[in-house]
Structure formats: C-alpha cells, structure tokens
Structure 1
C-alpha cells in the first residue's frame, strides 16, 4: 500500500479517506514538524499533505523520491517550491473555494472590530474602568456610506464586497485586470490603486503573495490613505511593510488597522504592533471554522487519493507538471 505523510492532525473525515487508500503517518505535534522530520517521513512516501506553515523547499522535495503529490491544505501555496516540484513531476494542489465564506467573514469581522473598537471596549469592561454611560465613550466609525477599497477582487474579495453591500457601503476595487462581470453583478467600481488608497475609508487586502505583491503596502501607499482610514489584511503578512504600518499608526497617518496575517508567524512578542490600541490582531484564523477546515482537509485528501490512483487531481497549481509527466511516460 502506498504511503502518505501528513504534517499535522487534520479532520477525521479526511484521515478516514486517506487511510482507506494508503498507509498514513501523521505528525503528532500541534506545531509544524521540523525540516528533518519531514525529510525522514517522505523518503518513501507517495503523497505529502502539508499546511501553509510548512516550508516545502527544493531540498525536501529532492528527498521525496516517490512523491506523486503535495496537497497543500490552503489556498496559498507560496510555502512550496513549485519549480522543484514540477521538475520532479510532482502535482501541487491547493484548496480553493471551500474557505471563501469563512475568510470573508473573518475579514469583515475584524473590520467591524477595529471600526467599533471592540477589543478596546472589551478590555475597558473587564478591567473595571466602566463607571457609567457617556456620550463620548469609545466612539467608533460608521460603515454606512463609507467607501471600502478592495485590493484583489478574487473569490474572497468578492465575498467581502457582498457583505459590505449589506452594510450599505460604497465599494471600489483594484487589481491588474478589470472584471466587468463582477462590476455588474456585485456593483463595484474599478479604480487605480492610487485612487483606491486616496478615497477609501477601509482598505482590505485579498491578494496572493508574489514578487509583485510583496510589500505592496508600504510607507508610500500608507501616506496616500486618508488619516481616518483603516487597513485590513487577511491575505499574506508580507504584503504589508509592518515597520511602515507601525509608523503610520503611531504618527496618525491612518486611523487603525486589523491584521490576521504577519510578516513572521507567529508574531514576535517584541513586535511593536502589539503595544498599539488602534490595531486588531488575530492569529491567522481566516479559515478557522470546523466546517471550513473539514472541507479543506477533505479536498486535499481527495486530491491525494486521485494522485495515488494515477488519476489527475483537481486544483493543480503547477499545470506545467502535466506536460512533464506526459513526457516521462
């Protein structure tokens, strides 16, 4: 029976499917396995089920002599060396679509939380500072008639736009290619990045991490935003220059921010962002619902089983591998 290594405990439904089709080994810890542990376990494995916190580089891939698939339980796949995998004829798959609603919910949740100062209010009550109602106590910001600027109107960005519509917000978006169909169906307006930054009351990031998007929000971009604006990031931490964000928040260049992702994860205890009151911080939980994480794991398991059976899996992110595998046969 073929072997599959899984880098973390995943939903039982997914484990059951994999165990019915392979000899399965699961990393028992809650933290990512060390590099040498991954190498040890994939030497004779045919499938690797990984998470976005696992850095699957060329060295690891070279040790997977029999690997057929690396199934990433995530939408993003910047943690995997696609070129190395393709060169070895290994499928790399992700789990798109199944986490759109959960991540959009989280993005809008932290947007509301920073706009209405929910963490501050919670701390205010718990610490015993609340002595009575006051007309100026913890005043936040309305959403109605405010402009939400979405950078990246993909699946998740589109779902965030739909939620914003329910709050009667105006919505603009930017991405390299216009999407006329979504402009009509959702009711959003396309603008340049510079215009989006200058007119938006809330800026929400929904882009993959690429060479073009790394540090795309830095000092220059933050300076273009309104002083009353908020920045929301649920995409990838490296999209935002954290040092520039800290300066913008402390110097009043923008009013607040909400982050679910960070340049380095977990966030360092001495990161200065932790000391600020005008920022909401969550621990990369965009897809963290029981239902969504189960669907993600099952999709990764289904893709793995297909590859083990010499079938073409869905959600391939390195389509060049198809030609490579064809040439090998």
Structure 2
C-alpha cells in the first residue's frame, strides 16, 4: 500500500480520509520537519503531505528519492523548490481554493483592528488603564469610503476587493503584473506598484511569495504609501522588507501596520511588538475548522488523483 507521511497533526476528518486510501504515518510534532527528517521522508515514503515551514530546497532533490509527490497543505509553496522537485520527477501540488475567503476575512480583520486602533484599545482595557469614554480617545481612521490598494489581484485579492467595495463602500485600486479583467464598479488596475501605494489609504499585500516578490514592499514602496496610510500583510512575510517596515513605522513615515505573517516567522521583532500602531496576529489566515478540513481534503484529492494515474487537480 502507498506510504504517506503527514508532517504535522491535521484535523481528524482529513487523517481518516488519508487512512482510507494510504498507509499513513502522522508526525505528531507541530514544528517544521528537520533536515534529517526531510531526508528520511523522501527516502522512505511514496508521498509526503508537508506544510508551511517544511523546507524542501533544491539540494533535497539531488539524492534519488522514493517519494513521487509533495502534496502541500496550503496555497503558498515558497518553502518547496518546485522546479527542482519536478526536475527530479516529483510532483508538487497545493490547496488554493480552500483558503480564499478565510484569508480575505483576516485581511479585513487586520484593516479594521489597525485603522480603528482595536488592538491598542483591547490592551488598554485588559491592563486596567481605560479611564472611561471621552471624545478624543483612540481616534483612528474611518475606513468606509476610503481607498484600498491591493497588491496582487488573484483569488484572495478579488475576495478582499469584493468585501471592501460592497461591504465598506471603499474605492479599490490594485497592482498586478498581468492585466486583470475586473468590473469597473469593483476595482481599477493602476500601472505601477508606486501608483497604488500613493493612492491607498490602506494597502493590502496579496501576492504569492516568489523570488520576484521578495522584498517587493521595500523602503521606496513604504515611502510612496505615506504617513497617513496603513499596510496590511496576509500573504508571506518576506514580501515585505521587515527592517524597512520597522524603520518606516518608527519614523512615522506610515501610520500603522497589520501583520499576519513575518519575514522570519515565527520570530517577531521586538520593535514591532513594542509599537501600539501595529496589529500582530499569529498567522491566522486559514485558522477555521472547516477551512483547514477543506485544505486537507484538497491535498488528499491531489494524492488520490496522482496515484490513480489521473491529472492532479492543483499542480503548482
């Protein structure tokens, strides 16, 4: 029977579905696999179901492997060198559709928490430092009717645009490397990243992590965003130059930031933790039971199709 390694504990529904089709080993640790574990997995299993942080660099595929497929749990796969895997005859898949709405919801959560200073207010109440209501306390940005700039108009970007436009009456502009056909009443594509950043009251990062998007949001992009505007990142941490972001926040060159991801995750810089105008979440983008089940079932569907000799539904 086909041997499958699942690198982290997954929802029970997903594990049972995997066990119905494969000889399954579930690694019980919740931390990323080590280099030694990775080598053993490639040598000892027919299939691996890895996830965020389980790094498979090019050199991992330089040795002959038993594994024939990496069915990634998650839409982002920047931790896997997919080109090197395919060159070694190993298929790579992901789980794109299942995460769209949940991730878009977290983008709106971060926007509201940061612009309306909700995190700061909650900390005040918990610390017993709230003196009571008064007219100028914790004044933030009223997002309704403002301009949202979306960097990356894929599935998640479109879901964010829909929520912002029809839920909050925001004007939506976006930057995307290729032309995206969007209804005019929903969003307008601008010619450059700089143009979107300059136009935005809030900029949301929704591009995949690739070598081309590494540090896409650098000091120049943050300068274009400006002192009255906010940055939200629900994509991958290394799309933003974290050092440049910290400097921009400390110098007041942007108004605040809402982050669900970090450049050196799970490490979060003390400088970010210390700032009240920064909302910090622990990578909650897809943290809903039904969403994680959906991701897992999509990964299992990819595996079943592959070993039945059919095209995988979600190749990367």
1:234/1:259 contact within 8 Å kept = yes
Residue number in structure 1 paired with 2:129: 129
Residue number in structure 1 paired with 2:178: 177
Superposed displacement of residue 161, structure 1: 0.6
Superposed CA deviations along residues 10-35 of structure 1, whole A, max 9, x for unmatched, are 12222122212221111111212212
Residue number in structure 2 paired with 1:297: 296
Q: Return the TM-score normalized by structure 2.
A: 0.95
Secondary structure at 2:40 match in 1: helix
Which segment is superposed worse, 251-260 or 189-198?
A: 189-198
1:5/1:42 contact within 8 Å kept = no
Q: Return the TM-score normalized by structure 1.
A: 0.92
Residue number in structure 1 paired with 2:33: 33
Cα distance between partner residues in 2 of 1:138 and 1:302: 48
1:44/1:132 Cα in 2 relative to 1: closer, same or farther (>3 Å)? closer
Which segment is superposed worse, 60-69 or 25-34?
A: 60-69
Unaligned ranges ≥5, structure 2: none
1:204/1:232 contact within 8 Å kept = yes
2:152/2:174 contact within 8 Å kept = yes
Residue number in structure 2 paired with 1:144: 144
Secondary structure at 1:107 match in 2: helix
Cα distance between partner residues in 2 of 1:58 and 1:299: 25
Residue number in structure 2 paired with 1:23: 23
Cα distance between partner residues in 1 of 2:127 and 2:80: 44
What pairs up with 1:157-306 in 2 under 5 angstroms?
Answer: 157-165=157-165, 166-180=167-181, 182-184=182-184, 187-191=186-190, 192-268=192-268, 270-306=269-305
1:42/1:63 contact within 8 Å kept = no
Secondary structure at 1:99 match in 2: helix
Superposed displacement of residue 248, structure 1: 0.8
Superposed displacement of residue 212, structure 1: 1.9
Cα distance between partner residues in 1 of 2:298 and 2:119: 35
1:41/1:212 Cα in 2 relative to 1: closer, same or farther (>3 Å)? closer
Tell which has more relative contact order, 1 or 2 (C-alpha 8 A, sep 6+): 1
Superposed displacement of residue 50, structure 1: 0.5
Residue number in structure 1 paired with 2:154: 154
Superposed displacement of residue 62, structure 1: 4.5
Secondary structure at 2:232 match in 1: strand
Taking only aligned residues, the RMSD between alpha carbons, in angstroms, comes to 1.4
Residue number in structure 2 paired with 1:321: none
Secondary structure at 1:37 match in 2: helix
Superposed CA deviations along residues 262-284 of structure 1, whole A, max 9, x for unmatched, are 1101024x531111111001111
Unaligned ranges ≥5, structure 1: 318-329
Superposed CA deviations along residues 269-305 of structure 1, whole A, max 9, x for unmatched, are x531111111001111111111101000111011112
1:7/1:38 contact within 8 Å kept = no
Residue number in structure 1 paired with 2:92: 92
Superposed displacement of residue 172, structure 1: 0.5
Q: How many residues align?
A: 314
